[in-house]
Amino acid sequence: MARKYFGTDGIRGRANAAVLTPELAMKVGQAAGCHFLRGDHKHRVIIGKDTRLSGYMMETAMVAGFTSVGMDVILTGPLPTPAIAMLTREMRADLGVMISASHNAFPDNGIKLFGPDGLKLSDEDEEAIEALIASKMPLATGGDIGRARRIEDSRGRYIHAVKGSIGQDARFDGLKVVIDCANGAAYQVAPTAIWELGAKIFAVGVEPNGTNINDNVGSTALDAVKAKVIEEQADIGLALDGDADRLIVVDEKGETVDGDQLMALIATELAAAGKLKGGGVVATVMSNLGLERYLEKLGLPLVRTAVGDRYVLEAMRAGGYNLGGEQSGHMILLDHATTGDGTIAALQVLAALVRSDKKASELLHLFDPVPQLLKNVVYADGDPLAHADVKAAIAEGERALDGRGRLVIRKSGTEPKIRVMAEGDDAGEVERVVDAICDAVTKAAA
């Protein structure tokens, strides 16, 4: 069944325009509430958000939706996406909601849903909720209408949980850490957690005003954290995105360390300690071939999935793995969290740095990435990938890279873009392949 609202990571779009309106948010609340009204206990939902101006509007609309079908609502205020997943499970809620558009600019917003187990909903659940949105839903009346309340200790609960992910004796004394919170959901909890473990903190992106989330800060705009690392002569820089479910690292020289290098480090650490479950690592088709080759030398297979941390998690659970992630910085450590958690991943990296007694530049660059190029082509409508000339260009690219690289073509799940990625040992050939396919897509989309 084709889905109208849900993409690869919930519902996302321009807030108060086109699809993502308060009316839709209320209907999603009603539909999700009805779908999870199971059993005769009093049902409850946890709602968190990032720091976008539109978060107030979306939160209020969703409260109206959930309470109107008989669900009680617990509001946390700004918290990372993984914190909402954790609290949903910890507080025995029937459903968790994160209002966020992740790394997108502030005019956008989104709705992510978690089941009572703290896991993102399955395709089947999302399809059932979409079907309910289009139907007439039964409303609660009288004393059956839900209540809403705000809890004040949610930040403390989350900080305690993430600190527990590295053991009681771990300390970061003497470490100079720059942390960029993207003026987003982790602006309070991430610096506090790392400071409590003894590090000296230099914070960037911790002054949200409703409109500056991800604005030249965070994991998709690294100039600010790089500059601060050099200015303060810090040991390491950490950059989160708007909802803090992804992490990108900067070493003491100001060089970028992406999710693939972080997976290599964490896999190496876990394997050495005998704690890597499943005998390998799960990543998406976008992860660099260099990571795959590095893990092969350790005797660890790399299992690839479609793009999206939900698909990484599905493969992890199916195969018994406890480590997975994405090049973009989503790190899932299933022993500690049910979804990507940038703060937990950051603590693993800092703990490894302390244990190694090495500089970040020595520790964090474990393999040489294969030349990789990703370009995006915007299209208005239709299906450019179905065009004969595009198919021919893709086939020619696959022939050129056969045995020497990989080609990945996909539609974005959140934007009207075709993403063209190629990698191989010959950088020139990779560029020629990508440019030829992008040109074909551009002409087909015209």
Catalytic residues: 102
Q: What angle do CA 183, 193, 56 make, to 5 degrees?
A: 35
Q: Tokens 């039964």 identify what position?
A: 138
Kindly report the backbone phi and psi dihedral angles of residue 337, in degrees, each rounded to the nearest multiple of 5, phi listed first: -155, 155
CA distance 226 to 237: 7
Please give the full DSSP string across 279-333, using - where no structure is assigned. Answer: GSEEEETTS-HHHHHHHHHTT--EEEE-SSHHHHHHHHHHHT-SEEE-TTSBEEE
CA distance 356 to 337: 25
What the block records as the tokens of 52 is: 């976008």
Task: Answer whether 246's CB lies under 8 Å from 103's CB.
Answer: yes
> Residues with Cβ < 8 Å from 359, sequence gap 6 or more?
235, 251, 252
Residue 236: strand pairing partners: 177, 251
